Structure 1
Amino acid sequence: MSSEKNVGRRLFLGFNYVLLGVIALLCLAPMWHTLAASLSSPVELNASRSLLFFPVGDLTFKGYEIVFANPSIWKSYLNTMLYVVGGTALGISMTALGAYTLSRRYFMPANTLMLLIVFTMLFNGGMIPNYILILKLGLYNSAWALLLPAAINVFHLIILRSAFQGVPAALEESAKLDGANEIQIFLRIILPVSKASIAVIVLFIAVMHWNSWFPASLYLADRAKFPLQIILREILIDGNTNMTSGGANAAISIYKSLIKYCTVIVSTLPILCVYPFIQKYFAKGVMIGAIKG
């Protein structure tokens, strides 16, 4: 009987490995195609209509040269980095403080406030009222129009609140007996114990700001303040490449497809480099506070 169970378990595990491997390949195929296309010859790339596993034609970095010769790329890259760093710092600070307050057992209005906060996640005023609000507050065409409305995400707040509620009460009681106040408990006990969940929220917020383009298209009028995703959208959808190399105009239609692939690689590379360093916290951080028993 045990041998039959072992055979069944091996078959089940083998099926899972094969299925997960196929899913992984399907997820990696577009990324690999984009990388191979960005290193391909522009003439061969335009003629190709199939999925690429290797660069077609002669290996070339011409697309990357043209992309980095575009001054809008560098300026928007810097803007995006500022928005990501500032938005992540503001977001995790506000979310952690709000989650800590709402997770306190002795804070009587916590459940009522949480219901009201969750209501805003399900129902909101919409795009036009938000636009009018940004205008009335004097935030239009400023970085604050991108940072303040996104400072607290209800989903992130729920995750951190659950994580903080999962911290054993004995730790807080021991700290209070030693004379610790609320700020010390928050900084020296709650945050270190919940670092996995905080790392996940930091990743969520950073990726959100990195990929965000719609708020910038609404609230920013000055092109010098555009994030990278706006420039990427112009290249991918509007076909506006503004390609210059060595002071000469290189805006030739043959390079447009190559430029699009190179721009996608340039815009996603930083996130791909950061993610492996914090991915070990990902599953653990999401599940903290979700298991009760």
Structure 2
Amino acid sequence: MNKKFSFLLVPFLVLAVKLGAATVDTVSVYSDSMNKNIKDVVIKPSGYKPSQKYPVLYLLHGYSGNYSDWIKKDPGLPGLADEYGMLIVCPDGGFASWYFDSPIAKSSRYETYISRELVTYIDKHYSTVNNRAGRAITGLSMGGHGALYLAFRHQDVFGAAGSMSGGVDLRPFPDSFGLKEVLGEYNQYPERWEEGSIVNMLYMIKSNSLALTFDCGADDFFCLYNNQLHEKLLERKIPHEYTSRPGGHSWEYWCNSIKYQAMFFSTFFNSTSKVKAG
């Protein structure tokens, strides 16, 4: 079989579970770039119809997590798919990939996987708005970094992006969170850490090229760096929403945060659909 974009969707690999009114699928997607199958969760809203096109929110997990984190930790997530009429896709991003195509770990190419291979799979197997106006991406912690990193670098794929408690500046953590396993030692490859930090990537976006929202708990160890990102965006006059609410680096915070972000992305989807219709 030609493995290029040969995706596996067979009965024993796809588990459909009813949670509330939404349907939760676990799918296995073949990654040509990493030569392996990767599991992902797909939440379909109540009343999903193949004849209708749905926007998609890609929701990334954090360091040491996996594809099932969000659906296990946040029982309200299917309800957001129902409320806003969107698909929610929770990819597996590896234990500590930081969603890079790693220059040293060739088996870790999660930028390519999510921005190209997974998006292609979702658009092929589900009824989606298959352009940037119908795609948003966000995530928590490592996934917050990943969402902004992927959106900044693939603005042709994603029209909106967010981050919750995101690791937006990698440089203060040279020995933490598995970063040196995907980027190399900071003192040997400082340019990789500089170029991979969101706070240094703002030159890639223009005033209204992406709809942006991010937040961080006031007691979170990443809060200082998110505040700095907010200030840099203000300096560059790049529109965005930023909130620092009470809370720390915890699922209690993220389960609350995703409610606000889902509303933000729904507003984006509705605005782009009206512009397209007009």
| Shared fold per TM-score greater than 0.5 | no
TM-score, normalised by the number of residues in structure 1:
0.24
Whichever of the two has the greater Rg, that structure is 1
TM-score in terms of structure 2 length: 0.25
The structure with more strand, counted as a fraction of residues: 2
* Bigger relative contact order (CA 8 A; separation at least 6): 1
